[in-house]
Structure formats: C-alpha cells, structure tokens
Structure 1
Amino acid sequence: MNSIGKKISDTRKLKGLTQEELAELSKVNLRTIQRIENNKNEPRGKTLSMICDVLQIDKAHLQELNQLSQKKTVTAFIIDGIFLILLNLLLVSIIGYLTLPPEATINSKTGAILLSFFIPFFIVHFTQKMSATERTIKFGFGFVAQIILFLVVQGFINTCKIGFRSWTFSCILIFIGVLFYGKIMFKPQK
C-alpha cells in the first residue's frame, strides 16, 4: 500500500470512521475513497485537501511520505538488481566450477547436473506468482552472459567443444528449462 492510501486508511480507522462516513464528510465519492485506500488512485489537489480537512492531516506531510515511499522503491529496485546480479554470478560460478576444469570428474559433473535441477526448482517454488519468462530472465541471464563471453573469447567451434565436453551446456539447458517450465511440477495454489 502506498503511503498516502495507507495513512488515510489508518487515520480514518483511528478516528472511528467508515469509508462511507469519510466520503460523506469530505464530499468525495465513496468509490474514490475506496480506490485511494486500495492504491488504485492517488488523491491530488482538491480531493486530497477535502480528505485531509476531515481527517485533520497535514497535506504537506502526506506528500512528503509519498516522496519518501518513492525513494524507497527506487532504492529497493537498485538493491534487488545488485542481488540478482550477484546471485547469477554465484550460480554461473558454481556450475562452472563443477564442470569446466580439466580435472572435473564424473562425480562433480553429476553434482552440477543435480544442482542444475534442484536450484531452479527451489527458485520456482518460491517465485510461483512470477511469470515463467520473468523468472527465466531474472535468474538465468548469468548463463546467457556466460555463453556470450565464451563465444567472444573462444569462438563458436571451441565454445561448442568446451560446452558439450564439460557438460556445461547440459547444465545450462536443464537450469533454464526448470526455471521456465518448473511451475508445472507444483499444484496450483488456492
């Protein structure tokens, strides 16, 4: 809930008013009050002034709260972006560490295959409300970057040799496939 809608809702409840009563006292449509409190509208100008007068709230304070809320949203977006970049680097590093070195054994490669299934499986479990495309982009872009880096550094032929010989491509395909199609393994939540 944005800060203005939440503040209006909380103050209305503290004063013991219903939405209908607030609408009547402020001469604002009931549907408008409901939409403001449900974050479907943000009150401005005269509407905000009339609601603030009835609830005895400082209009300037509400607008400052809204600006702070927007700054927090930008900060949260930046922090989420940094976290996703670090998580993708970690995932690529784990799979690469288990498959790419020449001394990688069948055991480490098998472990990479298992991790390529179970890590995205748990990601899907915790992000079921996210679309498959969004989840794949957010949690799989590290592997796309890895393939592009291999192509630039090694060339197409060497990248294919390294990728298939080391099982890295198999791991990437499993990982991306489970991210995208993994939701079918879960029953729909009611």
Structure 2
Amino acid sequence: MKNTDLSKKIKELRTRLGLSQGELADIAQLNLRTVQRIESGETEPRGDSLKRLANALNVMPNDLIEWTEKEDNGLLVFLNLSALAFIAFPIMGIIVPLIIYMLKKDQVKNINETGRRILNFQITWCLAIFLGYILFFCVIFLHVHIPMPNISLANLGGLELMILAPIFYYVFNVLIILWNAYRSYKGKVVIYQPAVRFLR
C-alpha cells in the first residue's frame, strides 16, 4: 500500500505554487507519467526523484521524507522502554535504544526526535552517574576531602546522601522512561529532562 499522505501533500504543494503536473515534471526534470503516478499514490518517489521533487516544490527533501514515514506508536513505546536496559548496566541504556533508533531511523513518524531525546537524556544520565561513582571512589578510597554542604535529611549526613544518590538517579530514570513510554503510546511528544543536547 502506497503512502497517500505523501501523494496528497505533493499535489497540495504543486497547486499552492500554481503548477500543472506537466510544469512540475519539467522543473523537476521528471517524466510527466512519473509525476502522475506519484500524485495518484501508485508509486513513492525515492532517492534522486525525491530530491528533484523537493527542489521543484521549494521544500527540503527531509520535509517530504516525513510524509513517507508510517505511524507506529508501538515501536516508539518499545524504543522508550528499551532504555530500561540501563538497569543491567548504565551504558546499555544508550546502546540498546541507539541500535533500535538506527535500524528504524526515517521509517517511523517521530522516531528521529524521540530517539534523539532518549539518547541525550541517557548520555546525560550516564555521565552524572559515572561522575557520582568517581566522586564516591575519591572520598572513600582516596580520602579526598570534598567540602559537603551541611545538609540534614532525616538525620543523614553528606556521605549517606552520596550513597543514596545513585538509588534516586535509578528510580528517577525508570519513572521518566515509563512516563515517556506512556506519552508515546498516546501519540504525544516525549519529554526527557534534564538532558544536554549531544545529538541535535
């Protein structure tokens, strides 16, 4: 089954520019029959044809690619939940979603944005957790004195809070992933914060 959304969008863009199918074919340097088949949904433009059509319609090829993507909220939910692999080892929360993201990139609607947000969050989280482990190692084994703020939470000192921090990080990560999996299931945009934008 061909993508009728793409064919409708191409026709809409063509008529908005006031072009006939023949004129579009001439500008895009495509056969008239090819343009007709694309607009009727008989075929989808790919590669060079897609680029030529995009240029003729004054849009970016990526804009047209978006209309060829299929909606698959189930895959987006799976992509979100794959980040739970961090429970086995923190770096797995990056590797597993990255593999799924790379395999399905540009094939599923919203996967590019969702994938980048998950990866940015997980990379940020991994850096925070590893820095926490390094800090803990320095304090306990190297006896490095780090000035700790005088925080008292349920009569816990700075060292105890430092020990509990990774547990908080893990629980927070799980809750964020589950919440965003639910948002993906509902077709909403995921929100992974705080995160440094490593991937744009």
Bin the TM-score by the shorter chain: 0.3 to 0.5
Larger Rg: 1
The structure that is helix-richer by fraction is 1
- The TM-score, its normalising length taken from structure 1, stands at 0.36
